[in-house]
Amino acid sequence: MDLSSKSKSKADTLPGGTTLRPRGRWGFVLTVVALAALLRFIFISAPLVRHSCMQAPPSTAAVCPQGSLLVPSKNGALWTDLTALHATTVFRDRAVAQLSAAVQIPTETFDNMGPIDEDERWMSREPFIEHLKGGVPASCRRHATLELQKVNTCGLFYTWQGSDTSLKPLLLMGHYGEYIYFLRRRALPYPLLYADVVPVAPLSADQWTFPPYSGHFDGESVWGRGSSDDKSGVIGIMMTIEVLLEKGFTPARTVVLSFGFDEEVGGPQGAGHLGPALLERFGPDSFAMVVDEGGTTGFSETFGAIFATPGVAEKGFVDVHMEVKTPGGHSSVPPAHTSIGILAALIVHLESNAPVSTLELGTPTFEMAACFAAHAPDIPLKLKRAILRAPKSKKALRAAEELLVQDKMFRAMVGTTQAVDIIRGGVKSNALPEQVAAVVNHRIATQSSVNATITRDAELVRELAARFNLSVTAYGELLTPALDAEAAATYGTLELSAPLAIEPAPITPSGRGAAPYALLAGTIKATFNAARKDAKSKEIFVAPGIMSGNTDTRYYWKLTPHIFRYNHGNFIRGIGGIHTVDEHIGADAFVEMVTFFTTLILNADEAEM
């Protein structure tokens, strides 16, 4: 067949208007080759020419998989009975009465409190401990059944012995003690870094809708300091056990309760002693899982969906103290830069070079973002695509990062933060200050470390210190000798120290095969569903979360790798005045906490973990 004769009068027009006029057999071959090359360029080599609507985002089927809600099977009838009880007004009023009475007992915590055997203010805890014993028969049975060990006077360690000693215990934590905001008076390395104990935000009754220790119930909420953080958690756990005992329940899996009393100031007197006591009694890696209160790691609405975000990680912490010393003298003959001016320049330099928040694969913050992308209907399409493509594209990861860190809260969670919170210096207007100091607080990202953080600070200030002819000592090591060869000595000194530091917590497993996480997620879903009459129209998704602050769990790392910071709090309408005036918690939200602890204990009792 003469292909050439049939194609002489025919012109082949390709995309883009290119016209090929083949000549003979070789002309046909060249036409096919040209077509293939052009199509390859359009669809493979030049993907940017395709419209974005042609690029469907990757499937979300394997991204943030959600298990089903988990309700007890062996104890299914008991669970059904208890959740029906929790829905009654009679039970709500009973729960409110116990929480209200607890709020009426001030257990104030101040920054400057000394050791428990030296500072009488700790004794405010005694009435609260007596309240936990209670006066009703059920409370008496609770304390007769549970073994109580007091640790460091006010730390409470309860053991509800299970029938099967082969099962690792479940550990539930909480704390009682409200934080009162006062300036610190500590024995710091710098004599200048102290102040008289004066209130920064005085607890004034006229700022509250109801008095701060009234425990007032207005028909909807219980009001008062500690109503949400964290007496509700402690009372919720104790009420759960009280009602289980009333129903005749005896656990197969041992349940341990640990209640600290100074979490708001770091927990050294409470959990700092309770953790070692638990380790001594049970040994390392001896618990199936630990659940502690988690600040605002309850559930809330994000991009049109409801998410619970139990904390599977916790940021680290370090305070970097900077002290500048320079010669004194009369202010009428000032140097070019006083010590205050030098310290101010150092602070500005730090803030101008703040740590950059970087989103990294495999971190809890990325996993949380992936859950938003997979399940939130209102997430912007551009952000969703970037997150879903990030595991296989660095460019997409950086695009997701750029969009996510625009949110102040997410930016704080994903990276190491710094905040200059304290500064001291100067005593008189006519005297040159000889010694000034500042404290820079860092919350350390899960992918970083204390050493990386303090080293970065030292390198930054070292650069600037040379301009002022300061010698630099960082964390006990002299970094620079005299800087000005023409000077007999350096003008002054800059000293850095880090007296208190905590590494980022080990990350709790939350992927496939992590039975404790799956149990917690299923429990959250079951609780959410049980507490709502319109549950069919609502759904809750569970995503790994992160604590930006620190909890008492820092003292419990050796007990288990499965530590969760979560209180089943409803934060859709806000955080209820935590750490400020008008702290309160809805009665229905508090009852839902009781349902959560009930479901958790019963689910854990029959779980394989």
Query: For 549, which DSSP code?
Result: S
Residue pair 294/174 in contact (Cβ under 8 Å)? The answer is no
Q: How far is CA 198 from the centre of its chain?
A: 29
Q: Is 229 annotated as a binding residue?
A: yes
Q: Is 264 annotated as a binding residue?
A: yes
What residues pair up with 172 in beta bridges, in sequence order?
A: 257, 291
SS3 track for 303-348: CCEEEECCEEEECEEEEEEEEEECCCCECCCCCCCCHHHHHHHHHH
Helix (H) or strand (E) holding 292: strand 289-292
Of 280, 259, 257, 258, nearest to 161 by C-alpha is: 257
Residue showing tokens 């059904």: 80
Query: Who's near 39: CB < 8 A, 6+ residues apart?
Result: none
Write the CA distances from 418 to 112, 264, 287, 321, 354, integer angstroms.
23, 20, 35, 12, 7
CB atoms within 10 A of CB 12: 15
Q: Distance from first CA to last CA of the chain, Å, rounded?
A: 76
Q: Read off the amino acid at residue 37.
A: A
Query: Who's near 465: CB < 8 A, 6+ residues apart?
Result: 346, 471, 472, 480, 483, 494
Of 551, 499, 552, 503, nearest to 186 by C-alpha is: 499
Q: Decide: helix, strand or coil at residue 411.
A: helix
Helix (H) or strand (E) holding 376: none
Helix (H) or strand (E) holding 299: strand 299-302
Q: Which residues are catalytic?
A: 196, 263
Interstrand relation of 255-260 and 170-175 (parallel, antiparallel or unpaired): parallel
Q: Write out the binding residues.
A: 175, 229, 264, 292, 579
Annotated binding site for Zn(2+): 175, 229, 264, 292, 579
